Structure 1
Amino acid sequence: MTKYLFLAFLALFLTACGSVTFNYNTSNQDLSFDLKEGEPYAIKLTNPVVTLTHDSCTFYSYVLNDDSSSYGKIFIEDISLQSNCKWNGLDLSFFESNFKDTLKLQSMKKIENIAINNYEFLTYKINDDSYMNLIYIFGVSTTTFIVDYEGKLSNELLEAFDKNVTSNYVHEKRFSSNFNDSLVRKNLFKGYFNQYSEDYSSK
C-alpha cells in the first residue's frame, strides 16, 4: 500500500507545472531547493513519512515528517493551488496561527526574518523560553512551510545563498513538538483558500 501511495505521489510530482523552488523526490528521499538558477541544492532525509492531503483547490499537496540524522526533526507542508483558486489572506499568517493554536502555545514571537529571493528564513521565540526556525518558500501557485526545530537546515541553506549570512539564534535553547497538522485538511472549515468567484475573475 505504501509503495502505491508513493508512486501516486511521484506521478503528481512529475506532472506539476509552473515555477518550482522546492521539490521532494520520493525515489531517493531528497529535498531539492532551487537556491540559484541552474544550481539545485539537495539534502538527504533519513526516514521521511509523507501523507498526501487533498482539497478541491489543490493541484497536489502533502505533509512530511522526518527525524533526520543531520538536521533533527523537521515538518513540511507543501501546497500547490489550482490556477482558479486563491488564498483568502496571507498564507504565512494562516500557518503561524494554526501552528500556535494547534499546539496551544502561550506566545509565538517572530524575532528574525531573513528574506532572500522567494525564501524567508524566520526565527520565533516560543513561550518566552525556546527558539524555532521556519523556512517559508513561495511561488506563483506554490507555498512551502518547513518547521526546522534545530535550525540546522535553515543555516545550511542561508550559507548556500551567502556564506556571510547566518541566523543569530541557532545555538539557543530549541523548541520541539510533534506538530502534524495541515492547512489543506482544515480548509473546508477555515476557508484559507477557495475558487475565484465569477465577479472576482471578471475584474
Structure 2
Amino acid sequence: MNIFKKILKKLAKASLPIFSFDNNELNFQIDSNDMLSYKIENFDFKTRHDPYVLDGYTIKTRDIFVEHIKLESDSSWNGEAYGIFKSFIKDKLNLKNMQLLKEMQFENYTFTIYNINDEYILYFIHIFEMNKNTFLIDTKGDLFNTIISALDETYVDVYKNENKTEVNFDVSLIKANGIFSYFGHMHG
C-alpha cells in the first residue's frame, strides 16, 4: 500500500506545473500539495516568439523580471540554460562584476544572490522542468524571500539590508536567440 501512495504522490506532483502565471499571479509549486501565489500589479507582459519555443514570455514589474521559456520537444539549449541566462544578463546590462554570495538548490529551484559591481545586490531564481526554464530576477528580494522561506522555514536573508537598485530589464533570451543561438533543434 505504501508503494501505491508513493506512486500517486509522484503522479500528483508531476501533474502540477512548478511555475505558472495566471490572473496576475506568479504561482510556484512548494510541494505536491501546496502552491504559493504571489500577486503582481502594474506589470508589462510580452509574448515572445521563436521557431524553437512552444511558449515564451517576459513579465516586468518595477522590482521583478521573469522570462519563461518552454522549448519545442525537438529543441534543446546549446549549453547550460541558467549559465546562459546569467551571462546574457551580465552582457545586456553591462555588468562588470557578478560576485556570487549565496546559492541554494531545492528540487526544481536554484536560488542565487549576487553582488553586482560592488554596488548592489540582485536575487536570481531559476525554475526548471522538462523543456521549461523560468528565470526570475528580484531587485528587492521580496519574491525571492517569500519562495525560499516557503521551501525552508529556517532561511534568513543576511543580505536584506544591503543596497538594492532598480533595473530596467528590457531584454529577452528568446528575442536574442535568432542572433546568438542560445537554443535550437536537437542534433542526433
TM over 0.5: yes
2: CA distance between counterparts of 1:19 and 1:184? Answer: 25
Q: Which position in structure 2 is the counterpart of 1:155?
A: 145
Q: Which position in structure 2 is the counterpart of 1:192?
A: 182
1:74 equivalenced with 2:99 (yes/no): no
Give, in angstroms, the shift of residue 20 of structure 1: 2.1
Give, in angstroms, the shift of residue 109 of structure 1: 1.5
Q: Which position in structure 2 is the counterpart of 1:93?
A: 83
Q: Which position in structure 2 is the counterpart of 1:24?
A: 21
Paired residue type of 2:20: N
2:38–2:143 CA contact under 8 A, matched in 1: no
Q: Which position in structure 2 is the counterpart of 1:116?
A: 106
Give, in angstroms, the shift of residue 166 of structure 1: 2.9
Runs of 4+ with deviation above 4 angstroms = none
For 1:112-166, what per-residue CA distance to the aligned partner results, in whole angstroms no more than 9, with x for missing partners? 1011111011100100121110111011110001110001111111111121023
1:37 equivalenced with 2:32 (yes/no): yes
2: CA distance between counterparts of 1:161 and 1:29? Answer: 22
1: CA distance between counterparts of 2:127 and 2:149? Answer: 16
1: CA distance between counterparts of 2:152 and 2:15? Answer: 26
Aligned Cα root-mean-square deviation (Å): 1.5
Q: With structure 1 as the length reference, what TM-score do the two structures score?
A: 0.82
For 1:7-37, what per-residue CA distance to the aligned partner results, in whole angstroms no more than 9, with x for missing partners? xxxxxxxxxx976210011xx2111101111
Q: Which position in structure 1 is the counterpart of 2:3?
A: none
Q: With structure 2 as the length reference, what TM-score do the two structures score?
A: 0.89
2: CA distance between counterparts of 1:176 and 1:43? Answer: 20
- Structure 2 unaligned segments of length 5 or more: list them: 1-13
2: CA distance between counterparts of 1:129 and 1:49? Answer: 27
- Structure 1 unaligned segments of length 5 or more: list them: 1-16, 68-72
